[in-house]
Amino acid sequence: MKLYKTSHFRNHKISCGQAKGLSIINRPIQNTVPMPRTLYTLIFYTCLPLIALRLLYRAWRAPAYAQRWNERFGFFKAPAISGKTIWIHTVSVGESIAAAPLVRKLLATLPEHRIVVTTMTPTGSEQVQKLYADEIQNGRVFHVYAPYDLPDAIDRFLNRIQPELAIFMETELWPNIVAACHSRGIPTLLTNARLSERSAKGYARLGSLTGTMLQQLSFIAAQADDDARRFIELGFPEERLQVTGTLKYDITVSEESQTQSLSLRQAWLIGRSEQARILIAASTHKGEDEQILEAFKQLRKTVAELLLILVPRHPERFQPVYELVKSQGWKSVKRSSGEKITSDTDILLGDTMGELMVLYGTADVAFVGGSLVEHGGHNPLEPAALGIPVITGPHVFNFTDVNKKLEEAGALFTVHNSDGLRQQGEILLMDSQTRVAASQMAKKVMDENHGALDKQLQLAIHQLKS
Tens digits of residue pLDDT in 138-160:
999 999 999 999 999 999 999 99
Q: Which domain holds residue 212?
A: 22-245+451-465
pLDDT of residue 25: 29
User: 113 forms bridges with which residues in the sheet?
Assistant: 84
Percent above pLDDT 70 for the chain: 92
Q: Is 135 a catalytic residue?
A: no
Cβ atoms of 453 and 108 closer than 8 Å = no
* Same domain, residue pair 269 and 240: no
* Same domain, residue pair 41 and 130: yes
pLDDT at 451 over 80: yes
* Same domain, residue pair 277 and 297: yes
Mean pLDDT of 110-125: 93
Nearest to 233 by CA among 220, 251, 218: 220
pLDDT of residue 82: 66
* Same domain, residue pair 230 and 377: no
Instruction: Say whether 311 sits in a helix, a strand or coil.
Output: strand
Q: Given 71, 95, 170, 233, which residue is catalytic?
A: 95
Nearest to 341 by CA among 258, 270, 279: 270
* Same domain, residue pair 162 and 49: yes
Indicate whether 8 belongs to any domain.
no
State phi, psi for 116 to the nearest 5 degrees: -100, 120
* Same domain, residue pair 321 and 222: no
Strands 84-89 and 113-119: parallel
Residues 377-404 pLDDT 10s: 999 999 999 999 999 999 999 888 899 9
pLDDT of residue 339: 95
Nearest to 309 by CA among 320, 296, 300: 296
Q: Residue 365 contacts by C-beta under 8 Å, 6 or more apart in sequence? A: 277, 279, 280, 388, 389, 391, 425, 428, 429, 435
* Same domain, residue pair 292 and 362: yes
How many residues belong to the chain?
466
3-state secondary structure 363-413: CCEEEECCCCCCCCCCCCHHHHHCCCCEEECCCCHHHHHHHHHHHHHCCEE
Nearest to 213 by CA among 36, 393, 87, 367: 36
Q: CA-to-CA distance for 461 and 466, rounded, in angstroms?
A: 9
Indicate whether 10 belongs to any domain.
no
* Same domain, residue pair 456 and 340: no
* Same domain, residue pair 205 and 309: no
pLDDT at 29 over 80: no
Indicate whether 347 belongs to any domain.
yes
Mean pLDDT of 71-92: 89
Indicate whether 84 belongs to any domain.
yes
Strands 188-193 and 412-414: unpaired
pLDDT of residue 294: 98
Q: How many CA atoms lie within 13 A of 442 on its CB side?
A: 25
Q: Is 133 exposed, middle or buried (0-12, 13-18, 19+ CB in 10 A)?
A: exposed
Q: Residue 12 contacts by C-beta under 8 Å, 6 or more apart in sequence? A: 225
pLDDT at 350 over 50: yes
Instruction: Say whether 414 sits in a helix, a strand or coil.
Output: strand
pLDDT of residue 258: 95
Residues 204-236 pLDDT 10s: 998 889 999 999 999 999 999 999 999 999 999
pLDDT at 30 over 70: no
Mean pLDDT of 19-27: 30
Q: CA-to-CA distance for 328 and 73, rounded, in angstroms?
A: 45
* Same domain, residue pair 314 and 439: yes
Q: CA-to-CA distance for 379 and 49, rounded, in angstroms?
A: 34
Which CATH number do you get for residue 98?
A: 3.40.50.11720
Residue type, 414: T
Indicate whether 279 belongs to any domain.
yes
Residues 258-317 pLDDT 10s: 999 999 999 999 999 999 999 999 999 999 999 999 999 999 999 999 999 999 998 889
pLDDT of residue 5: 37
Q: CA-to-CA distance for 453 and 136, rounded, in angstroms?
A: 22
Q: CA-to-CA distance for 414 and 4, rounded, in angstroms?
A: 31
Q: Is 277 exposed, middle or buried (0-12, 13-18, 19+ CB in 10 A)?
A: buried
Nearest to 264 by CA among 314, 309, 317: 309
Q: Which long-range contacts (CB under 8 A, 24 or more apart) does 178-182 make?
A: 178/213, 178/216, 178/217, 179/37, 179/212, 179/213, 179/216, 180/151, 180/154, 180/155, 181/216, 182/216
* Same domain, residue pair 282 and 241: no
Indicate whether 409 belongs to any domain.
yes
Rounded CA Rg of the chain: 23
Q: In the chain, how many domains are there?
A: 2
Indicate whether 250 belongs to any domain.
no
Cβ atoms of 154 and 177 closer than 8 Å = yes
321 vs 5 pLDDT, higher one: 321
Residue type, 334: K
Which CATH number do you get for residue 261?
A: 3.40.50.2000
Residue type, 42: L
pLDDT at 1 over 70: no
* Same domain, residue pair 455 and 369: no
Indicate whether 6 belongs to any domain.
no
Q: CA-to-CA distance for 175 and 41, rounded, in angstroms?
A: 9
pLDDT of residue 83: 73
3-state secondary structure 238-305: HHHEEECCCHHHHCCCCHHHHHHHHHHHHHHCCCCCCCCEEEEEEEECCCCHHHHHHHHHHHCCCCCC
